[in-house]
């Protein structure tokens, strides 16, 4: 219903939107690393076309290309990590890799961990791998922007929990990863958005504020301190963010 005002090539628009949704379903339903990677990359094409053709503003082509390049950059590291895990376990099935002895990988497991974590950090995204996000949010059609915030970004968090921590728990525990957002950058972009009072800048500010509030405490999950209350708070923040964004965007 949010796309009822789309007049430019509506058949192609909704076709690409369905392809995007299909790729998202594939990511969350895959139990094979190669299939996961295939669906993870499949969403790039419809996202690029939806933003560059049906997006708003003169920067939509730039924003779409920026999104694709950042994701491909992270995916290159992800593919290397997946291949190393698959070869070491002689299978690309999540369950087989989880139950396998990964001590004798071609590349040290710590590097594989870093490669896959980097890829999902781009998608999440984590500072300083986040510059594509404000542009993609502000220039994408409203429905695509909602999908991006509500579903696509969560693919990064899902990948970290489902693959990075599940397949390499010992490495994750040893790494004791804890990511902190850049508070100075968050405050600056917020002040900029409020001072100029432009919808684009306010959306950027909103993205940065909630990106800082929603930074995932990786070490708490590894050490078993992540509770259902934390999950409930995360869901409430996500809903609050979408309501505020809908109120800001004209």
- Asked whether residue 196 is domain-assigned, the answer is no
5 Cβ contact list (under 8 Å, min separation 6): none
- Number of independent structural domains in the chain: 1
Does the residue 131 lie in any domain? yes
Predicted pLDDT of residue 143: 84
Is 65 domain-assigned? yes
Residue 218 confidence (pLDDT)? 47
Q: Which domain holds residue 95?
A: 10-177
Write the pLDDT tens digit of every residue in 198-232. 455 555 555 544 454 444 444 445 444 545 555 55
Q: % helix / strand / coil in the chain, to the nearest 5?
A: 75, 0, 25
Residue 116 lies in a domain: yes
178 C-beta neighbours (distance < 10 Å), count: 12
**Per-residue pLDDT tens for 127-159?**
788 888 888 888 888 888 888 888 888 888 889
pLDDT in tens, 170-195: 887 776 654 443 444 444 444 444 44
Q: Is residue 243 part of a domain?
A: no
3-62 pLDDT, tens digit per residue, is 677 778 888 988 999 999 999 999 999 999 999 999 999 999 999 999 999 888 788 899
Average pLDDT of the chain to the nearest whole number: 76
- Determine, yes or no, domain membership for 91: yes
Name residue 93's beta-bridge partners: 32
pTM assigned to the model = 0.72
Name which of 75, 82, 74 is nearest 106 in CA terms.
82
Residue 232 located in a structural domain: no
């Amino acid at each position: 219903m949010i796309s009822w005002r789309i007049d430019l090539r509506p058949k192609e628009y909704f076709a690409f939107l369905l392809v995007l949704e299909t790729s998202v379903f594939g990511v969350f339903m895959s139990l094979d690393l190669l299939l996961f990677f295939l669906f993870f990359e499949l969403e790039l094409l419809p996202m690029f076309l939806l933003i560059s053709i049906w997006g708003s503003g003169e920067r939509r082509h730039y924003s779409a290309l920026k999104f694709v390049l950042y994701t491909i950059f992270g995916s290159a590291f992800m593919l290397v990590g997946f291949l190393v895990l698959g070869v070491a376990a002689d299978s690309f099935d999540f369950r087989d890799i989880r139950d396998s002895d990964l001590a004798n990988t071609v590349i040290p497991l710590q590097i594989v961990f870093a490669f896959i974590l980097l890829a999902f950090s781009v998608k999440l995204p984590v500072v300083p791998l986040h510059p594509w996000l404000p542009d993609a949010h502000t220039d994408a059609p409203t429905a695509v922007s909602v999908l991006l915030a509500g579903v696509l970004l969560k693919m990064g968090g899902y990948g970290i929990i489902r693959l990075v921590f599940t397949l390499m728990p010992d490495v994750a525990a040893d790494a004791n990863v804890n990511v902190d957002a850049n508070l100075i950058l968050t405050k600056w972009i917020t002040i900029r958005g409020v001072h100029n009072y432009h919808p684009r800048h306010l959306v950027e500010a909103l993205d940065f504020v909630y990106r800082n509030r929603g930074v995932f405490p990786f070490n708490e999950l590894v050490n078993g301190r992540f509770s259902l209350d934390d999950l409930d708070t995360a869901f409430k923040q996500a809903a609050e963010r979408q309501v505020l964004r809908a109120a800001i965007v004209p």
